[in-house]
């Protein structure tokens, strides 16, 4: 957004249609009053500011928030990451079936147990709760035995696991096994983590997808999301998973592992 605004101020042409898609709703509804446009070439318009006060308001909204509170004042607290994150963790030191909590801030971590060498990050809550089954599944998929004695289990749903401070904390593990949904969202989460964690990150999937094809039952919301999943799978080197997508036309949600 700020790139578009800067080009408008400098009198440089922009893709106005793409710019409109990025505008917050309250400004998109007023764009004809705010701007005068002149098409200068294919997909490029010169944009003149007509309402200076509204443009100044837009600049303020577009400016990156410095805190969650500042983001809320700008109309969307989600534009700024939380300053603190909480992770639920199963580990060998637990005295009951209740998971422990790790508190992660940008400059500190409050952890009340000794980390294992490895960690299994589970996307969905039900699968996380049934961590023994997930450790068994992951172990079979990876060709190595996984037990709570040497592998912590973390709940990583809702993309929270891709926050910078959490990724920095995960770097302290020797291995980070990622058990996510087999869809565009799960692959995107892993792709983001792999950029930060490198070879430490491993995507948990069966070595042979053929016996699992009947469990691909989730119909993609859009064609774009389906093709995105195939592209991500191929880009990550998961050729057999991409073939499973093509063969079924569907995704596989993580809960299906528990029904196997």
Decide if pLDDT at 72 tops 80: no
* 31 and 97 inside one domain: no
Average pLDDT over residues 47-67: 78
Last residue of a domain, one of 79, 114, 135: 79
How big is the chain, counted in residues? Answer: 260
User: Of residues 67 and 145, which shows the higher confidence score?
Assistant: 145
Average pLDDT over residues 22-40: 90
* 120 and 210 inside one domain: yes
* 104 and 232 inside one domain: yes
The pair of structure tokens assigned to 184 is 């565009």
* 40 and 97 inside one domain: no
Last residue of a domain, one of 49, 79, 109: 79
Is residue 178 within a helix (H) or strand (E), and if so which, with residue range?
Answer: strand 175-179
* 6 and 42 inside one domain: yes
pLDDT in tens, 203-234: 999 999 999 999 999 999 888 889 989 999 99
| Domain membership of residue 74 as a residue range | 2-79
Decide if pLDDT at 99 tops 60: yes
- When divided into structural domains, the chain yields a total of 2
Mean pLDDT of the chain: 88
The answer to whether residues 125 and 181 touch, using CB atoms and an 8 Å cutoff, is no
The answer to whether residues 151 and 163 touch, using CB atoms and an 8 Å cutoff, is no
* 130 and 231 inside one domain: yes
Helices of type H across 37-95:
52-62, 68-73
Last residue of a domain, one of 79, 113, 144: 79
Say which DSSP state 258 is in.
G
The pair of structure tokens assigned to 95 is 């005295």
* 53 and 97 inside one domain: no
pLDDT in tens, 102-122: 999 877 889 999 999 999 999
Q: Is the pTM of this model over 0.85?
A: no
């Amino acid at each position: 957004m700020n790139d578009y605004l800067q080009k408008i101020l400098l009198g440089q042409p922009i893709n106005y249609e793409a710019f409109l898609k990025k505008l917050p709703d309250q400004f998109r509804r007023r764009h004809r009053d705010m701007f005068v446009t002149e098409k200068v070439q294919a997909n490029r318009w010169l944009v003149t500011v007509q309402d200076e006060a509204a443009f100044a308001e837009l600049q303020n909204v577009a400016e990156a928030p410095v805190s969650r509170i500042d983001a809320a004042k700008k109309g969307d607290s989600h534009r700024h990451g939380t300053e603190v994150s909480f992770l639920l963790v199963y580990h060998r030191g637990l005295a009951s079936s209740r998971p422990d909590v790790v508190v992660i801030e940008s400059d500190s971590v409050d952890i009340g147990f000794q980390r294992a060498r490895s960690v299994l990050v589970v996307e969905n809550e039900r699968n996380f709760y049934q961590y023994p089954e997930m450790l068994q599944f992951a172990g079979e998929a990876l060709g190595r035995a996984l037990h709570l004695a040497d592998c912590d289990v973390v709940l990583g749903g809702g993309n929270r696991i891709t926050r910078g401070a959490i990724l920095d904390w995960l770097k302290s593990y020797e291995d980070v096994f990622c058990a996510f949904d087999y869809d565009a969202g799960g692959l995107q989460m892993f792709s983001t983590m792999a950029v930060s964690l490198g070879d430490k990150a491993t995507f948990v999937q069966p070595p042979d997808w053929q016996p699992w094809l009947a469990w691909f039952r989730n119909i993609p919301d859009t064609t774009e999301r389906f093709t995105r999943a195939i592209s991500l799978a191929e880009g990550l080197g998961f050729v057999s998973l991409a073939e499973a997508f093509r063969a079924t036309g569907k995704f596989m949600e993580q809960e299906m592992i528990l029904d196997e």
